[in-house]
Structure 1
Amino acid sequence: MYLTGHTQWDIANSPDVGVTQSVISEDLKAIRAEWVKEARTAYGRRVAQEMAKLDRVEAEAWRAWERSQADAVTIDVEDVPAVAGDNAPPLPGTPISRKVKKAGRDGSAEFLRIVGYCVEKRVELVGLLGMADKVKELSEKLAELTAKRAGKK
């Protein structure tokens, strides 16, 4: 009844309820507390799920970053005639000349951007940015109050 807009008084005076308004008030207070508890639990569970996803993406980005720094290896295989000067075509699948080239790589910065994105999102999820702003604001207020008190002495 409460969720359909009935007042505590209406609920208490309903023929099928038969309790006082104060009992309804106490019951609603307990119900609201349970709703808040459930909402916090659900919120915490959802934050944990999102954190796990970010952890997985970040871990994969770090692995990709490591791989992107490995030497690039190129292997060129050339089929040549079995006998020098022989005009016969090379036999298929018989590589005679093989060149291996290695080139160092610096790594792809894109993977580090992904890591940074994951860190930013994790900070947002746990509310660290808002806390930093609040700490800064409180520090500034404290400095102002300290300066005012120092000026009065």
Structure 2
Amino acid sequence: LSGTPVVLAYVDVACTALGAGLLDRERKPGCSIIGSTGMHMRLAQTPDEVLLNEARTGYTMTMPAPGVFAQMQSNMAATLNIDWILSLASGILASQGITRSNGEMIALVDEWISSSEPASLLYQPYVSEAGERGPFVDANARAGFV
């Protein structure tokens, strides 16, 4: 309709950051969103506080306060890694005629990880077919254990 106001609202990650208290100028908290992808944010009170990594990846978004920015770094897959490890473990158990629910599988994986020696197993979490976009860019990055 003619005369209907149109407003551009903030994206979901900015709204999550607001709800998490990212605008607290004294404490300067960080905020991570762990969904299909991962988004990690920090407060930058001035453009000079925006810190770029060597690969110059990430994003900076103006927040709804004068001169305040959210500096963000995303990665292609966060909880998709949980789906991947559950699928892998379920497949191994199924090959032995054993079935477990996802809840049981998560408890087993947690127990397995908790009982392992520090630095004895390294997981590279690049399960996205697109590779990785942060904190580095590599279309060929792949998941695996080392």
User: Is this a same-fold pair by TM over 0.5?
Assistant: no
Q: Which has the higher strand share?
A: 2
Q: TM-score, normalised by structure 1?
A: 0.23
CA radius of gyration, larger in = 1
Q: Which has the higher helix share?
A: 1
Q: TM-score, normalised by structure 2?
A: 0.24
